[in-house]
Chain A
Amino acid sequence: MASVCFYFQVHQPYRLRHYTIFDQSTDYFDSFKNSQVCRKVADKCYLPTNRLMLELIRRHGGRFRIAYSITGVILEQFREYAPQVLESFQELARTGCVEFLAETYHHSLSYLFSPQEFVSQVEAHRHLMQELFGQTPRVFRNTELVYNNSLARTVEQMGGFDAILAEGADHILGYRSPNYVYRPPNTRKLKLLLKNYRLSDDIAFRFSNRGWSEWPLRAEKFGQWISAVNGNGYVVNLFVDYETFGEHQWEDTGIFEFLRHLPDEVLKHPDNDFKTPGEVADTYEAVDAVDVPHFVSWADIERDLSAWLGNPMQHNAIRELYNLESLIKASGDPEVLESWRKLQTSDHFYYMCTKWFADGDVHKYFNPYDSPYDSYINFMNVLDHLRSRCNRTVSAPADAVTATASMSR
């Protein structure tokens, strides 16, 4: 058997507006830019791709099956700026061929800094999936596929999860193939699905690269690569950003045509099928435990945390953010809490990355800043203002008590 397991990541952050140390507004987010990006990507990617997915699911009568992980912050933006996108995802949910995965509501790195915050964000996201799509997720993927052994244990302890996703990085797999189901060490029944990064990246990154020896990539050729897995594995995990379709790979590259014909080509081989991550976990037994003591992610060639935590500015910003946790929660101000959570979205730290700044590379995509320094300054100014708001609300009741006391005297 070779099962194709598609999972698409759908996410956009709440980008910050330009905010100087002199600003006093409590409105930190650039609603104009965010609505612009949301509508643009909706038109180029989300709407046409959802339409195509629906068409494919109907045409193949249940044999074409896919999964999404959609963050809470993009769903909020869909509601506000592009409600028709949300409706089209709901229509996909109703086909019964689409699985929705769980992740942190705010696409955060909270697992690294605050386990209790992490748990509450995952719970919030699970509830949102139930509310919007009528299903409770049973498979977990962490932000940017950040993963290690202890994350797997935490997720199992939360309960209700049958599988977890991670990057099939060479340094964790060694000689082993990502095309089997594995398990994390020291867990009882949780299964580990690892991304086949070669085949995933063929679609997500190399598809339009004319310098690539396999260019142009057609569905037929890709279908043959999938069929070749038969006998060497059970499942090909294709984990890609949804924006690959129409946004990272423009329509004129032929990416939609590729997708349109892919199910036919895969299903040509009688032993092939499509399965969602939950179905893969139900169908196949784990063959081995994969030990991941250090964090891996799906970013860049390093496949580590260095895109978000690679320089002192990023460490400083994120530590200052999580240092505020008790103050924020003590303030009892829901608006402050919500802003703090939106600041946790990993993209804010990604913009501060200096790793490839010299070459000015892929990371420019959707990046609202001219430089990582500008993004750090902006973030720290917002954080400073947020802190001053909690100081006010936290110290206010104390003042009120003193004032009452002195008046009664």
Chain B
Amino acid sequence: MTTTPAFPPVVEAYLADLERALAASEPRERAETLAAVREHAAESLALHGSDDAGARRVLDELGPVDAIAAASTPSPPAAATPVAPAATPAADVWLVVLAVASLALFVVPLVAGAAVVWALVRLRSGAGNRGLQRLALAVGAVSFVGAVALFVSHVLAG
């Protein structure tokens, strides 16, 4: 690491401004630029003197910190983390299985009712796979209506 002598306050302030101006620059380029400008300032101050006039001259020759920052390469944006597609929750798969089972067991409307209620609860929660939840709700509702129709027709026939 290069050591540089203590600078006049105005030069230290300039270097601090430069460090801030380069905050968004490519990290390695930023570090090398800061080190090289410090060395340039030290060399130039030794040449022109460290008094106010010398320091002003050195800073004028180095130029505005914004111009140096504009000449640097911007830091590359952080790579975006790919968002993995949400996995289908097992609960929704089982919900569909229950709804389909309620079709086969439509003579027992309790199963269809449970499928409908569970599907509604899942849909209201806003979580999981809404497509599967709607499918289960539709299948469960059809099964429940079938069971009620069967019951009514049985009562009427009796």
The answer on A and B forming one complex is no
